[in-house]
Amino acid sequence: MEQRNLLQAAEKYLPGACLGAMALPKNLRMVMTHGKGSKIYDTKSKEYIDYVLGSGPLLLGHSHPEVVEAVREQVGKGATFYALNEPAINLAEVMVDAVPCAEAIRFQTTGSEATFAATRLARAWTGNDKILKFEGSFHGGHDLGQLSGHPTDSPPFPNASFDCDGIPEASRQDVLVAPFNDANAAQSTIQHFRDRIAAVIVEPLQRTLMPEPKFLERIREVTQALSIPLIFDEVVTGFRLAWGGAQERYGVVPDLACYGKVIGGGYALSAVLGKKEILECADPNAKLTRCFLGGTLTGNPIACTAGLKTLEILNRPGTYERLEEIGSHLREDIRQMGIQLDVPLQVLGDGPILQTYFVDPAVPLKSHRDLLKADKKKALQFSHTLIRRGIYCTPSGKMYASLAHSDDDIDRTLDVVKKTLRGMKK
């Protein structure tokens, strides 16, 4: 079917003519047919260098031959059993060995389910209800994830604000909010609500905001002193910033960690890892504290097979050095272009993650409210122009690099970025 007809059908049947939150303007919509390595292709056979990577899972790039072969073999054996299976057990062993905080693991299917499961476990284990999160964080599509994620007119801390309709007031009342990178404010809130907090959840790298020195350490210290579980949302950073994730990179170990994206190798898989005494609340045979965590496709052998092969490849020598090289190259070159072309911008991120913000380089960007100073219209102009010219990124301009991106891909990308920035200056 021609792309025009497919897009008409999408407009008729899919709200926003999209599959989730990534909605493009009508003149930029396309229908993808296949991907290979660092490239994806639409129904008009147009090629894009892909920096979305399916919203992050494809750290090896599209259709990695070793992953494809492993999945093909498993499909012939069975898709799912709703029972223990060898790939799930093997993947559990690899992940518990790799993740610093992990003593046990419970598989889930999506990143949203992983963060939901972690907060439920914490509530079951502590008997408390309130969760403290940080303004500007994203923890999924459930109620917690849709509170104070992207407010433009925020209430005073620690009150949460709604990001979307359909969330009960009762859910808002159970969420406390602190500013990211403000250890004093977070510590004060935690101590004030110490007897009511079930957990503190944080993205160690919040979107693309780096943690300030000692910020994570301070949060770890106060939660540990008060026996409050600390949850790292590593759905994005897990196995991307380092083999041991953000915990290894930043040197701070939480009580629980949420993983997703990379661990499924492009298939639906997530997990909660952490202290065994907390994870044991999910044991169906538990006599005291019981916490239901399960699902139809939880730990299915296809996703676990893809994940096992993906992690095997990521654990080979040179992986994280290469990812760091690509990310650093892109961030630094785009920064230099801004200086040379007199386009005020900053490029944030860590490892193979980056995002360009159109704001004076002298403006400190440490929190969500700082990011509100950036020009969103210019960011959209930037990302839409990149997409039109064959560089596929999110509408916000966020980019994920992969092992499949070659030096030629990076050079072509930077050439398009330069032309785009030069055009924006006019």
| Mean pLDDT lowest among 152-156, 360-364, 379-383 | 152-156
Mean pLDDT within 172-181: 96
Mean pLDDT within 200-223: 98
Give me the DSSP letters along 224-253: HHTTPPEEEE-TTTTTTTSTTHHHHHHT--
Mean pLDDT within 174-182: 97
Q: In this predicted model, what pLDDT tens digit does every residue of 113-123 receive, in sequence order?
A: 999 999 999 99
Q: In this predicted model, what pLDDT tens digit does every residue of 264-304 receive, in sequence order?
A: 999 999 999 999 999 999 999 877 778 899 999 999 999 99
Decide: 262 and 67 in contact? Cβ < 8 Å.
no
pLDDT greater than 90 at residue 306: yes
Residue 425: pLDDT band with limits 50, 70, 90: confident
pTM of the predicted structure, to 2 decimals: 0.96
Q: Cα–Cα distance between 238 and 242 in angstroms, integer? A: 7
Residue 205: pLDDT band with limits 50, 70, 90: very high
The answer to whether the 3-63+318-425 and 65-314 domains have the same CATH topology is no
Residue given tokens 């403000």 in the structure block: 182
Structure tokens that stand for 211 in this block: 């943690």
pLDDT greater than 80 at residue 346: yes
Residue 414: pLDDT band with limits 50, 70, 90: very high
Q: Cα–Cα distance between 144 and 167 in angstroms, integer? A: 9
Chain center to CA of 345? 23
User: How many helices (H) and strands (E) would you count in the chain?
Assistant: 14, 14
Q: In this predicted model, what pLDDT tens digit does every residue of 124-147 receive, in sequence order?
A: 999 999 999 999 999 999 999 999
Please name the residue ranges forming H helices in 78-176. 86-98, 111-126, 169-173
3-63+318-425 has which CATH code? Answer: 3.90.1150.10
Burial 29-62 (b: 16+ CB within 10 A, else e): bbbeeebebbbbbbbeeeebbbbbbeebbbbbbb
Bigger pLDDT: 170 vs 21: 170
> For residue 397, what pLDDT is reported?
95
Q: In this predicted model, what pLDDT tens digit does every residue of 157-176 receive, in sequence order?
A: 999 888 899 999 999 999 99
pLDDT greater than 80 at residue 328: yes
320, with CB counted inside 10 A (0-12, 13-18, 19+), is buried
Please name the residue ranges forming H helices in 127-256. 169-173, 183-192, 215-225, 245-250
Q: In this predicted model, what pLDDT tens digit does every residue of 387-406 receive, in sequence order?
A: 999 999 999 999 999 999 99
Mean pLDDT within 96-100: 99
Query: What CA–CA distances, in Å, run from 406 to 322, 402, 410?
Result: 10, 9, 6
- Sign of the CA dihedral running 372, 373, 374, 377: positive
Decide: 397 and 54 in contact? Cβ < 8 Å.
no
> For residue 108, what pLDDT is reported?
98
Residue 426: pLDDT band with limits 50, 70, 90: low
> For residue 150, what pLDDT is reported?
86
**Strand, helix or coil for residue 294:** coil
Average pLDDT over the chain, rounded to whole?
Answer: 96
Please list the residues that pair with 391 across neighbouring strands: 49
| Region of residue 84 (left: phi > 0; alpha: psi -120 to 50; beta: else) | beta
Chain center to CA of 114? 12
Closest CA to 71 of 306, 307, 299, 263: 306
Decide: 195 and 126 in contact? Cβ < 8 Å.
no
> For residue 375, what pLDDT is reported?
97
**Strand, helix or coil for residue 346:** strand
Residue given tokens 């990379």 in the structure block: 262
65-314 has which CATH code? Answer: 3.40.640.10
In the chain, domain spans: 3-63+318-425, 65-314
